[in-house]
Amino acid sequence: MPVEWAGSSPDLLLVIDRESPEPLRAQVERRLREAIRAGRLHSGERLPSSRSLARGLGVSRGLVQECYAQLQAEGYLVTRAGSGTRVAAHTPVPQPPAKRTTMQPALLADFQWGVPDLRSFPMTDWLWAMRESARSCSVSALAYGDARGSAVLREVLAGYLRRVRACVADPERMVVCSGYAQGLGLALHALARSGVRTVAYEDPGSPATTRSAAASAGMASVPVPVDDRGIDVEALAATDARAVVVTPAHQWPTGVVLAPERRLALVDWAVRRDAVIIEDDYDAEFRYDRDPVGTLQGLAPDRVISSGTVSKSLAPAVRLGWLLCPPGLDALVAEHKHLGDRGSPTLDQLALATLIQSGRYDRHLRRMRSRYAARRTTLVEALAAHAPGVAVTGLAAGFHAVAHLGPDADERAVVTAARERSIGLYGMSTCRTSGATTPPRLVLGFGNVSHHALAVGVQVVGDLLRGD
């Protein structure tokens, strides 16, 4: 289907050489033929009006009309009343070499982790916030601005994080970024410039993301084991790391909460090692049957970089996050952000600030917390009915669970067999640095799965989970 350009006359770039002995009319005809043959102009696509093209080329309108008439006679163009001049429908267009692709069947249920309920994005509220913030913003807000981000959003976020996450939030030490991955990269580059050479990370965790970001910053990375009380601080102390990436409120992917004594031990390690903790506070808004846990940053703001985003609370497409930095690191982070992209989109930042200030963001979170809790219940009930021997953990917060398969289960075989039944399952092996498939675990995301799909999905693969 051809692109339908809005407006009375779409622009078209044609180059003519007034020093050439070739007549101007011949040049225009040739350039139009070449544009059609090369696929720059597709079948059915509308051309500029003769008046508009003549004005752009600096030639007479009659010359362009003669060119159009000639190309129409040759079968390249067609003209219809009220529709303008268009490329003829049968005009051949060069096609790129065909790619051999295998069509994947649609899944009955896809338990992909890390994806919120995309259908529940508050589009009406977001559009309202965009209009309100655009209507009231100053002209100066449309310039490049501060690489740290909009002062309005930083002020609003600081107040929100103090209120909801018990952070020590100074807007002057906050840098707005484009999601977690960029924030991690900014933090590691700043730490590398300050002399840190090795960063540790939780295992299991997000090894690919952390190792890639560390390598980009010129740093080494080392895994540290996680048990049912969170990261093993003694094992961390045995490394030469002076930075560590942790998910203390709801460990990814095991779902455990960092135990109180380990929180204190981790801060003590950072003080003794002159180290920095990078805290990924990725889904702390969604808790169900436990008391809220404040951030590590609130406990030791001079030793913790706290990272947050709206990728889970709203949608990944918003591409907005933030870093709360200790004194001295904020300037390095902001400098690297400035060099990278001159700052995140200001209009989107202002919309987010308006959404939070209006109370609509809190209202959305309350609604989603209830929705995810209901889906969690559906998942637990379906597992109890169709795979009663499978233990499930990590359900106190967030929108994923960990299914513990039997000791003799083959994690990869279960994932493969489920895919053959049009069910998307994902093993914890991809979250382990070694890629080990033992002990066999599945990480079941339920954020973007309907109640019906949850029930059907578990029923279809119940025998695989049981190991029948």
Same domain, 71 and 216: no
At which of 358, 390, 408 does a domain end?
Answer: 358
Q: Which of 266, 264, 215, 212 is nearest to 243 (CA)?
A: 266
Q: What is the pLDDT of residue 189?
A: 98
Residue 460 lies in a domain: yes
Q: How many domains does the chain have?
A: 3
Residue 18 lies in a domain: no
Same domain, 278 and 383: no
CATH number of domain containing 42: 1.10.10.10
Same domain, 217 and 324: yes
> Edge-to-edge strand order for the sheet containing 391-393?
391-393, 400-404, 441-445
Residue 96 lies in a domain: no
Residue 99 lies in a domain: no
Same domain, 47 and 194: no
- pLDDT tens for the 468 residues of the chain, in order: 556 665 556 788 899 999 999 999 999 999 999 999 988 888 888 899 899 999 999 999 999 999 999 999 999 999 887 778 899 987 665 666 666 666 677 899 999 999 999 999 999 999 999 999 999 999 999 999 999 999 999 999 999 999 999 999 999 999 999 999 999 999 999 999 999 999 999 999 999 999 999 999 999 999 999 999 999 999 999 999 999 999 999 999 999 999 999 999 999 999 999 999 999 998 878 888 767 788 999 999 999 999 999 999 999 999 999 999 999 999 999 999 999 999 999 999 999 999 999 999 999 999 999 999 999 999 999 999 999 999 999 998 899 999 999 999 999 999 999 999 999 999 999 999 999 999 999 999 999 999 999 999 999 999 999 988
240 class by beta-carbon count within 10 Å (0-12 exposed, 13-18 middle, 19+ buried): exposed
Spatial separation of the C-alpha atoms in residues 304 and 279, rounded to whole Å: 7
Q: What is the pLDDT of residue 94?
A: 60
Q: What is the pLDDT of residue 4?
A: 61
DSSP 8-class letter at 250: S
Contact of 399 with 439, CB cutoff 8 Å: no
Residue 258 lies in a domain: yes
CATH number of domain containing 418: 3.90.1150.10
Domain that holds residue 219: 122-358
Same domain, 174 and 65: no
Q: What is the pLDDT of residue 339?
A: 95
Q: What is the pLDDT of residue 91?
A: 64
Q: What is the pLDDT of residue 276?
A: 98
Q: What is the pLDDT of residue 255?
A: 93
Residue 262 lies in a domain: yes
Q: What is the DSSP string of 5-74?
A: --SSS--------TTSSS-HHHHHHHHHHHHHHTTSS-TTPBPPPHHHHHHHHTS-HHHHHHHHHHHHHT
